[in-house]
Amino acid sequence: MTLFRDSIACDSMDSSLIAERKSSALDAAEELLARSGVEVTMDELAVAAGVGRRTLFRYFDSREELIAAAVERQYDRIVDTIFEHINAGTPEDLIRAVLTGSHQVAAGMGLAHWQIAADPESHGNIGAAGRARRMARRRYIDDFAVRLWRLADQTGTPPPLLGDTFGLLESLFTYQALRRDFEYSTEHIAETTSHVLIATLRELIN
């Protein structure tokens, strides 16, 4: 029995250590991808993580798998961070808070996210990263639509137009278009997109 318990404890420690090392590797990958984009090599990722290339392959089967995991984790963290700090009393408050948070995040997103969102086919085999990004955004959009619909005292499934409009307004493409083409500030972009979504919600309710 003692040996069995010791074995379980050892397995638990090994799992904890592996999880910690994978997390550190993902932290390093996120920073490097933001600076250098998706063309980074496994060697560069290993150096950034402070481990050997062979060690990195123990945790991730390929460069593409590591990039996809880093992208998905960053989007999940964005969702958690934005929603965690929101205590909105009205639908309008929720819309402004979430779109402000989304566009502040967009302002700080690095090169890799733009490459994956805009043109993944031109950057080699990063299809897994593109799929991870799309799935993470879909969860974010669906979660927000449900929260907003309930806060507006509505029942049932939110109308697809609500989620579609939010997805359009919070997207990296919308942010970049308004910032680069019209030189709008992040605050102005958040306020403009909030007005549009508030109008859409009111139209759907009425």
87-115 per-position pLDDT tens digit:
778 999 999 989 998 888 777 777 777 77
Handedness of CA 113, 114, 115, 118 (dihedral sign): positive
Residue 53: which residues within 8 A CB-CB, separation 6 or more? 42, 43, 46
DSSP code, position 157: S
pLDDT in tens, 122-180: 556 667 777 777 888 888 899 899 999 999 999 999 999 999 999 999 998 899 899 98
Cα–Cα distance, 180 to 3 (Å, whole number): 64
Q: What phi and psi, each to the nearest 5 degrees, are found at residue 41? A: -95, 165
Residue 117: which residues within 8 A CB-CB, separation 6 or more? 133, 172, 173
Mean pLDDT to the nearest integer, 2-16: 52
Higher pLDDT, 77 or 6: 77
Alpha-carbon distances of 58 from 32, 46, 68, 161, rounded to whole Å:
20, 12, 16, 44
* Confidence band of 202 (pLDDT split at 50, 70, 90): very high
Higher pLDDT, 165 or 11: 165
Tell me the CATH architecture of domain 2-205. Orthogonal Bundle (1.10)
- Whether this model's pTM surpasses 0.85: no
Residue 105: which residues within 8 A CB-CB, separation 6 or more? 78, 82
Do 202 and 95 form a contact (C-beta atoms < 8 A)? no
* Confidence band of 17 (pLDDT split at 50, 70, 90): confident
